Amino acid sequence: MSSRSSSLKTFFVRGMHCQNCQLFVESKLEEVEVIKRARASLKDSSVEIEFLGEAISVESINEILSGTGYSVAESKSEKHTGKAVKVLVAASLAIVVFFTVEKFAIGGLMNVDSSSSLLGFFLFGLVAGISSCAALVGGLVLSVSKQWYSLYSSEDSFLQKLQPHLIFHAGRLVFYSFFGFLLGWLGQSLKISLTFSSILVIAVSIVMLLMALQMLGIPTVSLSIPPFLRKLLAVDKSRRGRMMPFILGATTFFLPCGFTITAQALALLSGSPFHSSMIMFFFALGTFFPLIAIGASSLKFFSMKTFSEVFTKIAAVLIIFFVIYNVNSQLNVLGLPSLNNLTIGTGEQVPFTPDDSTTVLATASEKEEEIVVNEASPKETGEIIDIEEMVGFQEVVEEQPFVIVQSGPEIQVIRTVANATGYTPDYYQVKAGVPVRWEIEDVGTSGCTNAIISRNLFPQRVELTRGNTSVVEFTPQLPGQYKFSCWMGHYTGIIEVVN
């Protein structure tokens, strides 16, 4: 039995962006008889190959990797400005489409309540899948799609390559139904904390960001796993490997967009475990079609040899955008500074100017007689309402669609109109130490706008019901700017407390 001398050679790999990519390249190369060992490095985007005998050519190695989305070269590829422009233009167009959908508030076209049919929840899920769920779950699908695609060869059919995505959605359907059953059975005791959801979304977003940076070829923090352990944990086409997409799909129940939270709340109120389970099942089924379209489209683009690398970069840029969008929203939910602070209250401002007069404000019991609403047409979001101090008579600020009227025992009354596009006005000034009565009229909320939170002003969530006015009362003590927002932090405003 003769032994052959071995030779080592290092190649640079394109398309490798995660631990699973690293493992796949190694295992794919080690299937070849003349290759004794392959060790890929995510940090250097390279692979060191030990050959049994003479090293084979780059062309031969690329033939082995054909159809996987990976390729090798003997030197690092140069940066192409043309490709970068294509990536930025395509990603920008996708982002514009996303914000256009948000701007026109398609969620307002479909509204559900506790009496809605299961078909209504299906349509509600369909709308969610092309709105805020696309930012959260769609971004997650994009971040793992390349990894799943790499499990299959060019000989595998499109349906075979789609299997991880179908398993992912099977996990969503099964666990949405299961947790829906628990919501109906256990009721309020199983209510999911918004703080928990926010922290979880931020944690997942950080992982998505790291994957996106790797897809762009930017070195990031990478936890090195020993080769033998990577092979045990790898996602592959075995029965064990298929569990990862299933479990990932199941956990999205705890990564809710505003639409999902609405469905969960209505399932909670259903009072029937079976009906609650069906509400969540049909909602998840509605989201299936737009989300599977995102996954299927990504597979098509990855399979195009001339476009695969460009699409990988486009997907990475979109993931980074979704990360920023999601984290920014969760900062709003937590009441922390965010990008929204740059745009709130940019409209006409009427400053608060206190004097030495006795302040007499309308009492809550006198609301019907004392509160006056100007019939002028609403202005753009960003309008600021101030508090005028008065003695013995009512006063309405001219040309203001929402006014604060003050007469009687001290209480400050502010009014808001809520719809599917947010809250108007989005900026108020109130006086410190004086009780505030906030009246919020729901003229057609949908998704996450059907509840308002402001952690630093009041602990409870203010639920809104279409056609009704909800009221919350609180007494601000310390001067400063306090943020309020919808459940998911997409729509925000400021209540400024002044002395």
The 10s digit of each residue's pLDDT in 294-321 is 889 888 887 776 666 777 788 888 888 8
Contact 435, 474 (CB under 8 A): yes
Q: What phi, psi does 250 have (nearest 5°)?
A: -65, -40
Does 475 have pLDDT greater than 50?
yes
pLDDT confidence of residue 229: 43
Rounded-to-integer distance, Cα 175 and Cα 180, Å: 8
Mean pLDDT on 342-351: 51
At 334 the three-state DSSP class reads: coil
Q: Answer with the residue of higher pLDDT: 393 or 439.
A: 439
Mean pLDDT on 478-494: 88
Residue 222's alpha-carbon distances to 9, 22, 240, 313, in angstroms, are: 24, 12, 24, 19
For 189, counting Cβ atoms within 10 Å of its Cβ (0-12 exposed, 13-18 middle, 19+ buried), the class is exposed
CATH says 340-498 is which class? Answer: mainly beta
Tokens linked to 422: 């947010």
Range in 110-119, 218-227, 237-246 with the lowest mean pLDDT: 218-227
Report the percentage of the chain scoring pLDDT > 70. 72
At 163 the three-state DSSP class reads: helix
pLDDT confidence of residue 372: 31
Does 384 have pLDDT greater than 50?
no
pLDDT confidence of residue 115: 65
According to DSSP H, which parts of 105-189 are helical? Answer: 118-129, 132-133, 139-149, 158-161, 163-186
Residue 131's alpha-carbon distances to 134, 219, 270, in angstroms, are: 6, 32, 25
Mean pLDDT on 241-249: 81
Contact 248, 235 (CB under 8 A): no
Does 231 have pLDDT greater than 60?
no
Rounded-to-integer distance, Cα 44 and Cα 30, Å: 20
Task: Walk across the sheet containing 384-385 and list its strands.
Answer: 384-385, 427-431, 492-498, 480-485, 451-454, 458-463
Rounded-to-integer distance, Cα 95 and Cα 451, Å: 26
Rounded-to-integer distance, Cα 277 and Cα 373, Å: 43
Rounded-to-integer distance, Cα 114 and Cα 116, Å: 6
Tokens linked to 196: 């928990």
Rounded-to-integer distance, Cα 265 and Cα 249, Å: 20
What are the start and end residues of each CATH 3.30.70.100 domain in the chain? 6-73
Question: Cα dihedral sign for 433, 437, 443, 445?
Answer: positive
Rounded-to-integer distance, Cα 430 and Cα 426, Å: 13
What are the start and end residues of each CATH 2.60.40.420 domain in the chain? 340-498
487-499 per-residue burial string, b: 16 or more CB within 10 A, e: under 16: bbbbbbbbbbbbe
Does 160 have pLDDT greater than 50?
yes
Tokens linked to 468: 């009704």
Q: Answer with the residue of higher pLDDT: 391 or 108.
A: 108
For 100, counting Cβ atoms within 10 Å of its Cβ (0-12 exposed, 13-18 middle, 19+ buried), the class is exposed
- Name, of 144-158, 227-241, 321-335, 398-412, the range with top average pLDDT: 321-335
Does 377 have pLDDT greater than 50?
no
pLDDT confidence of residue 136: 77
Mean pLDDT on 429-440: 93
For residue 104, name the pLDDT band (cuts at 50, 70, 90): low
At 49 the three-state DSSP class reads: strand
CA terminus-to-terminus distance, the chain: 93
Mean pLDDT for all residues in the chain: 74
Q: Answer with the residue of higher pLDDT: 287 or 388.
A: 287
For residue 397, name the pLDDT band (cuts at 50, 70, 90): very low
Task: Walk across the sheet containing 412-419 and list its strands.
Answer: 422-424, 412-419, 436-442, 469-474
* 439: alpha, beta or left? (left if phi > 0; alpha if psi -120 to 50): beta
pLDDT confidence of residue 347: 41
Among 288, 283, 293, 292, CA closest to 123 = 283
Does 366 have pLDDT greater than 80?
no
Range in 62-71, 276-285, 344-353, 358-367 with the lowest mean pLDDT: 358-367
Mean pLDDT on 46-58: 86
pLDDT confidence of residue 214: 74
Convert the pLDDT of each residue in 2-19 to its tens digit. 456 778 888 988 877 666
Q: Answer with the residue of higher pLDDT: 426 or 227.
A: 426
Mean pLDDT on 225-236: 47
Q: Answer with the residue of higher pLDDT: 69 or 29.
A: 29
pLDDT confidence of residue 170: 95
- Angle 327-331-332 (CA atoms, 0-180°, nearest 5)? 120
Residue 160's alpha-carbon distances to 74, 272, 295, 370, 396, in angstroms, are: 32, 38, 13, 68, 67
- Name, of 96-105, 198-207, 226-235, 395-404, the range with top average pLDDT: 198-207
Contact 72, 13 (CB under 8 A): yes
Helix pair angle (258-269, 163-186), 10° resolution: 40
6-73 CATH: 3.30.70.100
